[in-house]
Chain A
Amino acid sequence: MDEKIQDIYLTNKKMRKKWQAFLEERGIKNFAENEVNLIQQTIGIFNEQDELIATGSLAGNVIKYVAVCDVISETKGARFNKIISELENRLSQVECFHYFVYTKPMYQKSFEHVGFKLLAATSLGILMEKGTPNITDYIASIPHFPIKKRIASIVMNANPFTKGHRFLVEKAASENDYVYVFVVNQDASLFKTNERIELIKRGTADLKNVVVVNGGDYMVSYVSFASYFIKNTDQIIKYQTMLDAKIFKNNIIKPLGITSRYLGSEPFSHTTSLYNDALKKELGNDIQVIIVPRKKISGVTVSATKVREAIATGNFGEFTDYVPKTTADYIIQNMENIQLRIRERAEN
């Protein structure tokens, strides 16, 4: 039987319709434009009658939208293996050797057979990874503290690092022996990842029991929690926040001996407030989840959003009170560059 692999271009409306129908028949339902727009390439296997019989897509280092028709197949699973092989080859061509897949719980075994390992599972979907450096390598790369100590954790984007962030870190540092500050790794914010990490390091340099580490793919990333960066429905946000919380629970807490996670209360962002709920629910039985009310200065809640708006409108002078001197100095030194980036982002 002659079956061939071909690229599928979703910009072709007819093809897109065919592709979507094929996936829908196999129970994949989320075709929100935000999600589909993240796809960089899609491949399909077509039979002699030019019917689509298997497909898979790549969005960065995430394998998505995999579906296979096993009817009239020589061997069960042959087409699935072919699709995954081809996707992995394409990933290796761009030097990507560590990747993820979202799938339904029922397909866990199929992906295990081709070398994927489970990171977190919910009833709606599971997240698996393959390749290197994986979660074990990630944990090994982080400084470890003596176990049986009070070890706090905070995950922050800090776009940029404000006095609000500082307040949260300070509180955790004063109430614990050690504090991990995990920084969101996704370069999707106004301040680049290395800038955000650097500003947190500078702004907490005096706190000797605090260590700042990159959160990698495992904490609030396109992989673990894409809705943090793109708009989505509540149902998807709830699913993703649950998954992100479970990754933390299953893979991060124990090897690092973490005993608490500190969160800032979230009066402004609906998504982040759902995230806080998920963390409380998922982590609450294992570690202390401490929600700290947001810091106010002269009665106004400090937020990085306000700082960014002030930079955009050139009123930063009025907001220097909101950020530590280390952040203020950096912004003033790089004002033109940051404003340029804001304009570019607005245009896109």
Chain B
Amino acid sequence: MEIKKSAIAGTLESSDVQIMLSTGKNGFEFELESDVAKQFGDQIKETIVNVLKKYKIENAEIRVIDKGALDMVIKARAITAAQRALDIVDTPQWEVL
């Protein structure tokens, strides 16, 4: 699926993560800002990529501001961002969950 419009989900508050998705051309391009990027950067990216793949998204620019979110929070925010970016908020793909 192609991302048609940019979308954002999450907040910058402690224990949360803000994910912005926009149209990309070359696979998944990440920009990650996190105090724990060194320790958990790859894991954060992997969690998001797994969600996007389930939505059959192949290209995206992904901007992530992590404030120490746990895996399930990252997943939840990624799902919301993906649904918004694909403009399918009204018809959520429950099977992805």
The answer to whether B7 touches A81 (Cβ under 8 A) is no
B90 to chain A, nearest CB (A): 16
The answer to whether A132 touches B6 (Cβ under 8 A) is yes
A235 to chain B, nearest CB (A): 33
Across-interface contacts of A85 in B (CB, < 8 A): 11-13, 18
Stretch at the interface among B36-44, B50-58, B60-68, B70-78: B60-68
Does B46 lie at the interface of the complex (its beta carbon under 8 Å from any beta carbon of A)? no
Choose from B7, B14, B63 the contact partner of A115 (Cβ within 8 Å): B63
In the assembled complex, the Cα of A347 lies from the Cα of B30 at a distance in Å of: 49
The answer to whether A81 touches B22 (Cβ under 8 A) is no
In the assembled complex, the Cα of A33 lies from the Cα of B22 at a distance in Å of: 36
In the assembled complex, the Cα of A284 lies from the Cα of B60 at a distance in Å of: 40
B25 to chain A, nearest CB (A): 11
Known contacts A95-B5, A97-B8, A115-B63; A132 and B20 CB within 8 A of each other: yes
Across-interface contacts of B67 in A (CB, < 8 A): 81
Within 8 A of A (CB), among B1-29: 5-8, 11-14, 18, 20, 22
Does A131 lie at the interface of the complex (its beta carbon under 8 Å from any beta carbon of B)? yes
The answer to whether A113 touches B61 (Cβ under 8 A) is no
Across-interface contacts of B31 in A (CB, < 8 A): 115
The answer to whether A132 touches B22 (Cβ under 8 A) is yes
Within 8 A of B (CB), among A85-134: 85, 88-89, 92, 95, 97, 112-115, 131-132
Across-interface contacts of A131 in B (CB, < 8 A): 6, 20, 63
A231 to chain B, nearest CB (A): 35
The answer to whether B22 touches A115 (Cβ under 8 A) is no
Q: Which residue of A lies closest to B7 (CB)?
A: A92
In the assembled complex, the Cα of A78 lies from the Cα of B13 at a distance in Å of: 6
Q: Which residue of B lies closest to A77 (CB)?
A: B14
Across-interface contacts of B8 in A (CB, < 8 A): 88-89, 92, 97
A311 to chain B, nearest CB (A): 39
Across-interface contacts of B65 in A (CB, < 8 A): 113-115
Does A287 lie at the interface of the complex (its beta carbon under 8 Å from any beta carbon of B)? no
Across-interface contacts of A82 in B (CB, < 8 A): 11-13
Across-interface contacts of B33 in A (CB, < 8 A): 112-115
Known contacts A88-B18, A132-B20; A81 and B5 CB within 8 A of each other: no
Within 8 A of B (CB), among A199-226: none
B63 to chain A, nearest CB (A): 7
In the assembled complex, the Cα of A163 lies from the Cα of B97 at a distance in Å of: 63
Known contacts A88-B8, A115-B33, A115-B65; A81 and B13 CB within 8 A of each other: yes
Across-interface contacts of A115 in B (CB, < 8 A): 18, 31, 33, 63, 65
In the assembled complex, the Cα of A81 lies from the Cα of B35 at a distance in Å of: 15
Most chain A beta carbons < 10 A, residue from B8, B12, B18: B12
Within 8 A of B (CB), among A53-97: 75, 78, 81-82, 84-85, 88-89, 92, 95, 97
A303 to chain B, nearest CB (A): 40
Across-interface contacts of A114 in B (CB, < 8 A): 12, 18, 33, 65
Across-interface contacts of B12 in A (CB, < 8 A): 81-82, 84-85, 88, 114
In the assembled complex, the Cα of A78 lies from the Cα of B12 at a distance in Å of: 9
In the assembled complex, the Cα of A115 lies from the Cα of B12 at a distance in Å of: 10
A45 to chain B, nearest CB (A): 12
In the assembled complex, the Cα of A114 lies from the Cα of B18 at a distance in Å of: 9
Across-interface contacts of B61 in A (CB, < 8 A): 132
B36 to chain A, nearest CB (A): 13
Q: Which residue of B lies closest to A112 (CB)?
A: B33
In the assembled complex, the Cα of A131 lies from the Cα of B6 at a distance in Å of: 9
B27 to chain A, nearest CB (A): 16
Across-interface contacts of B13 in A (CB, < 8 A): 78, 81-82, 85
Binding site for B on A (CB under 8 A): 75, 78, 81-82, 84-85, 88-89, 92, 95, 97, 112-115, 131-132
8 new A-B contacts at CB < 8 Å, known A81-B13, A88-B12, A115-B63: A75-B14, A78-B13, A78-B14, A81-B11, A131-B63, A132-B6, A132-B22, A132-B63
Smallest CB-CB A-B distances: 7 pairs: A85-B11, A97-B6, A81-B12, A115-B65, A92-B8, A85-B12, A132-B22
